[in-house]
Chain A
């Protein structure tokens, strides 16, 4: 690796050799042992990186403030899985009801013959009188 090639890689990958791709890092490490100008340029690049890198802002107080401001989401009250299974159960029961009705396996109480209806009303009155006594 020549000085110029090293400089190109230094500008592309930055001063931290640990972040360079493996083959480039190995070649650079070998040439740095006997290339004074490359070492000087690497030191300059390291200085630049150290001088301009900002420490991460302290966000401890802000994190607490955000957590305190969180609204309770509607989804948190009822887990999504439960909503999905309840919906599936409702759809299945509706489908079963429609199928039974279509096959005629269930009598429609509103279309019951008049005799049955009279009997039902009589029982209802009887029950009502029993409670009244």
Chain B
């Protein structure tokens, strides 16, 4: 088994996975599993199902590595598998209630500041929920879950320009929401 460097290209890792290299597979997981879970969670709205989907997606990567053609990026291929599995799953399961996931509490903040932060967060969540569906999905992938714009565009089957346009409108809308919320806070 050869050593695996941090900067090694995904395509090279895939070639090694095709030869049964578990270390290369583990590195691919370290790079992409978190966002695979996040993407599945975004689409299904169900945390347990998202982990099952991410697991199945990576098992498919392991089984099909020899068939993978380097015409598309590995991550693009992976997001597509996750999206397809997630869409299948949404037909069978109910999403978690929105308030079932407790928001982490920052112990460094005093209760008043923490309360203000939570209020802002709720206002932004409401603003995101009020965005048109594609804008909201672009925001969730890029600004919440940390996908690059290129990855999000490929995942949502959009051109880079179309995705950027969605993000421009969404960022402006969220910034105005926050400004409005801050002004209301000062007025009260």
Number of interface residues of A (CB under 8 A): 35
The residues of B that contact A90 with a CB separation of less than 8 Å are none
Per the bound structure, the CA–CA distance linking A68 and B124 in Å amounts to 40
A75 to B17, CA, bound (A): 10
B144 touches A41 (CB 8 A): no
State the Cβ distance, A79 to closest chain B Cβ, in Å.
6
- Knowing A11-B168, A70-B25, A73-B63 are in contact, say whether A52-B144 is a contact too (CB < 8 A): yes
Q: Which of A11, A41, A63 contacts B26 (CB 8 A)?
A: A63
> Chain B interface mostly helix, strand, loop or mixed?
helix
By the criterion CB–CB under 8 Å, are A49 and B34 in contact?
A: no
Partner of B179, one of A44, A54, A63, A70: A44
B 157-185 binary contact with A (CB < 8 Å = 1; else 0): 00000001001110110110011001000
Q: A47-B120, A57-B37, A71-B63 are in contact. Are A66 and B29 (CB under 8 A)?
A: yes
B79 at the binding interface (Cβ < 8 Å): no
Within 8 A of A (CB), among B5-34: 18-20, 22, 25-26, 29-30, 33-34
- A-B pairs under 8 A by CB, number: 109
Q: Give the segment of B54-62, B70-78, B89-97 that binds chain A.
A: B54-62
Q: Are B164 and A12 in contact (CB under 8 A)?
A: yes
Measured CA separation A66–B29 after assembly (Å): 9
Query: Do residues A48 and B174 form an inter-chain contact, with CB atoms below 8 A?
Result: yes
The answer on a CB contact under 8 Å between B34 and A48 is no
A11-B128 Cα distance, complex, nearest whole Å: 15
Interface residues of B in 38-80 (CB under 8 A from A): 38, 41, 51, 54-55, 58-59, 62-63, 66
With both chains docked as a complex, state the minimum distance between the C-beta of A35 and any C-beta of chain B, in angstroms: 16
Question: Contact partner of B20 among A41, A54, A59, A76, CB < 8 A?
Answer: A76
**Contact call B20/A48, Cβ cutoff below 8 A:** no
Q: List 27 A-B contacts (CB under 8 A).
A: A8-B168, A10-B171, A11-B168, A11-B169, A11-B171, A14-B143, A14-B167, A44-B175, A45-B175, A48-B124, A49-B143, A51-B120, A51-B121, A51-B178, A52-B121, A52-B144, A53-B143, A57-B37, A67-B22, A69-B59, A71-B59, A73-B20, A73-B62, A75-B19, A76-B19, A77-B20, A80-B19
B residues touching A (Cβ–Cβ < 8 Å)? 18-20, 22, 25-26, 29-30, 33-35, 37-38, 41, 51, 54-55, 58-59, 62-63, 66, 104, 117, 120-121, 124-125, 128, 139, 143-146, 164, 167-169, 171-172, 174-175, 178-179, 182
Residues of A within 8 A of B (CB): 7-8, 10-12, 14, 41, 44-45, 47-49, 51-57, 59, 62-63, 65-67, 69-73, 75-77, 79-80
5 smallest A-B Cβ distances: which pairs? Answer: A76-B20, A56-B34, A11-B168, A11-B171, A59-B33
